[in-house]
Amino acid sequence: MSEKAPWITYRPELKVLDCTVRDGGLINAHRFSDDFVRAVYDACIAAGIDYMEIGYKNSKKTFPVERFGPWRHCDEADLQRVVGDHDAEATGLKLAAMADAGKSDWQTDIVPATESPLSVIRVAFYAHQVSEAVDMMRHAAELGYETTANLMAVSNITDVEIDTVLEAVADSPASTMVIVDSFGHLYREQVDRLYRTYAAALAGTGKEVGIHAHNNLQLAFANTIEAIILGCNRVDATMFGFGRGAGNCHTELLLGFLRNPKFDVRPIIEVIQHHILPLRQEIEWGPLLPYNITGQLNQHPRAAIEWREGPTPDDFLAFYDKVVSEI
Q: Within a 13 Å sphere around the CA of 55, how many CA atoms are in the beta-carbon half?
A: 30
**For residue 113, which of 124, 105, 121 has the smallest C-alpha distance?**
121
Which of 221, 242, 285, 307 binds its own copies (CB under 8 A)? It is 221
**Residue with smaller CB distance to its own copies, 234 or 250:** 250
For the chain, how are helix, strand and coil distributed in percent, rounded to 5?
50, 15, 35
Q: Is 190 in the site for its own copies (CB under 8 A)?
A: yes
- What backbone torsions phi and psi does residue 145 show, to the nearest 5 degrees? -90, 150
**How many secondary structure helices (H) and strands (E) does the chain include?**
15, 8
Q: Is 289 in the site for its own copies (CB under 8 A)?
A: yes
Minimum distance of its own copies from residue 302's CB (angstroms): 19
Q: Which of residues 236-275 bind its own copies (CB under 8 A)?
A: 240, 250, 252-253, 256-257, 265-266, 269-270, 272-273
Q: Is 9 in the site for its own copies (CB under 8 A)?
A: no
The Cα 28–Cα 274 span in angstroms is 18
**Is 151 buried (19+), middle (13-18) or exposed (0-12) by CB count in 10 A?**
buried
In this structure, the dihedral spanned by the alpha carbons of residues 295, 230, 128 and 142, taken in order and rounded to 10 degrees, is 130
Minimum distance of its own copies from residue 4's CB (angstroms): 9
Which of 215, 238, 251, 294 binds its own copies (CB under 8 A)? It is 215
Which of 42, 76, 161, 315 binds its own copies (CB under 8 A)? It is 315
- Residues forming contacts to its own copies in the complex (CB under 8 A) are 5-7, 187-190, 215, 217-223, 225-226, 229, 240, 250, 252-253, 256-257, 265-266, 269-270, 272-273, 277, 289, 292-293, 296, 314-317, 320-321, 324
